[in-house]
Structure 1
Amino acid sequence: MAQGKNRKALNKIARKGNKGFPIATIAFYGADNKTATKLVCAIIPYEGAEPEPMRKWFSAIEIRKSELIIKEVLAFINENDAQTVSMVDDILGCPHEEGIDYPEGDHCPQCLYWKGRDRFTDSLWH
């Protein structure tokens, strides 16, 4: 994936590993496993704390290539004084939220790729 200066800066921070709290977590979501259209960054202020604050970004195109959005994510991380950044570049599932965008316990009617699929291994359930 092509990288601009903001993406390179984010990757560099994430590669530093665990530097303590606060921790910024970054996750990508999309209708399939190819194109991320949602990015969620949450700050975990201390061990055992709920992730708060949390911010979400959306894009009609591949969000991982958006220098503008990545710049905003870096600013959010800095504003919250995160010492560690935890990020997986893979897409972790559908961008729609269970119980908000579709009923609890159902699959997303808009993202059929994820129906019956484990979002961490991208394999179909048996």
Structure 2
Amino acid sequence: MAQGKHKKLLSKKLRKGDKGYPIATIAFYGADNKMASKAVCAIIAFDGAEAEPMKKWFSSSELRKSEHVFSEILTFIDENGVKSVSMIEGIFGCPHEEGIDYPDGNYCPECTYWQGRDRFSGDLVH
């Protein structure tokens, strides 16, 4: 992980734990478990609310090392009055969206690494 100024500021927010709503969730996605090519930050305003607003970043390089992306995430969090931040530092599955980039109920044809894998652990499930 990057350890620049913005990553450190975000880490500080993460260490504060649950301070109530609104909550920002941050997740990284990639074609495999090595490089994150997509980052998503979503705001949950209250218990049971939809994750909105949501902002996405895409890159052909590792986003978990991008100070620019961490800066934009911090700005997005601050603009939305976030009190708590949650982040999955590993890669949370394929960057393509089921039903948008490929048909519902199928695996992504571009990200074969994730076919038959649990998105939380990366372990094969079949």
TM-score over 0.5 (shorter chain): yes
CA distance in 2, matches of 1:73, 1:52: 14
How many residue pairs get matched?
A: 126
The residue that corresponds to 1:78 in the other structure is: 78
Give per-residue Cα distances to partners, 1:19-62, cap 9 Å, x unaligned. Answer: 00000000100000110010100000011111110110111100
Rounded to whole Å, the distance in 2 between the matches of 1:59 and 1:87 is 19
Q: Which runs of 4+ in 1 moved over 2 A?
A: none
Aligned to 2:41: 41
RMSD of the TM alignment (CA)? 0.7
Of all paired residues, the percent bearing the same amino acid is 65
| Counterpart Cα distance in 2 of 1:111 and 1:58 | 15
Gaps spanning 5+ residues in structure 1: where? none
Q: How does 1:53-64 map to 2 (within 5 A)?
A: 53-64=53-64
TM-score by length of 1: 0.97
TM-score (norm 2): 0.97
- What is the CA–CA distance in structure 2 between the aligned matches of 1:93 and 1:12, rounded to whole Å? 25
1:12 CA displacement: 1.1
State the shift of 1:2 in Å: 3.6
Unmatched segments (≥5 aa) in structure 2? none
For residues 72 and 2 of structure 2, what CA distance do their matches in structure 1 show? Answer: 18
2:9 and 2:87 map into 1 onto residues whose CA distance is 13
Query: How do residues 1-126 of structure 1 correspond to structure 2 at under 5 angstroms?
Result: 1-126=1-126
Letter in 2 for 1:69: V
Question: Separation in 2 of the partners of 1:31 and 1:58?
Answer: 12
